[in-house]
Homo-oligomer: A and B are copies of this chain.
């Protein structure tokens, strides 16, 4: 893992404190690809009657892991912000299972990075949700220059 773990943990907590509280575990991160897992927890369950994860958890997970993938592609700490995010929800999650997200930063320019990935339980080929997102890089500069 090319990142100092404390840098990565701080990054994730700043992108999504909810993810940090839920103990998001980064399983691997290198070359612009991040794989992370959210351990099972009662707090992840949207509807107690069905045990299905609530959608906001999956969305936040994909957004956060996408930001980590971009950080990995950049190879250096840098302020970044999600510019836009698209999530397609493919099926209900399986009750009681932890959920993984695998996101790849597949393109970067000077001030934009593009990422795509999936959330799933045991099998990456049977995803719960699919995501495509863009992240704005060097956001401190952007804000001061905004009109």
Interface residues of A in 1-53 (CB under 8 A from B): 14-19, 43, 45-47
- A88 x B83 contact (CB < 8 A): yes
A: contact size bracket: 35 or more
Chain B nearest CB from A68 CB (Å) reads 14
Nearest first, the 4 closest Cβ-Cβ pairs linking A and B are A56-B60, A110-B145, A109-B146, A86-B86
A61 CB to closest chain B CB, in angstroms?
A: 9
The residue that A60 contacts in the complex, of B59, B109, B116, B132, with Cβ under 8 A, is: B59
- Interface of A: prevailing SS: mixed
Q: Does A97 contact B (CB under 8 A)?
A: no
Output the least CB separation between A17 and chain B (Å).
6
Contact of A114 among B90, B111, B116 (CB under 8 A): B90
Contact B110 A85 (CB under 8 A): no
Residues of B within 8 A of A63 (CB): 55-56, 59
Within 8 A of B (CB), among A81-123: 81-92, 106-112, 114, 116
A54 touching B17, Cβ below 8 Å:
yes
A64 beta carbon closer than 8 Å to chain B: yes
Whether B84 lies near A84 (C-beta < 8 A) is yes
Do residues B91 and A146 form an inter-chain contact, with CB atoms below 8 A? yes
Q: Which residues of B contact A145 (CB under 8 A)?
A: 109-111
Task: Say yes or no: A56-B54 contact (C-beta < 8 A), given A110-B146, A116-B130.
Answer: no
- With A90-B114, A109-B142 known, 10 other A-B pairs at CB within 8 A are A15-B46, A55-B82, A82-B87, A85-B85, A85-B87, A86-B87, A91-B143, A108-B147, A109-B146, A114-B130
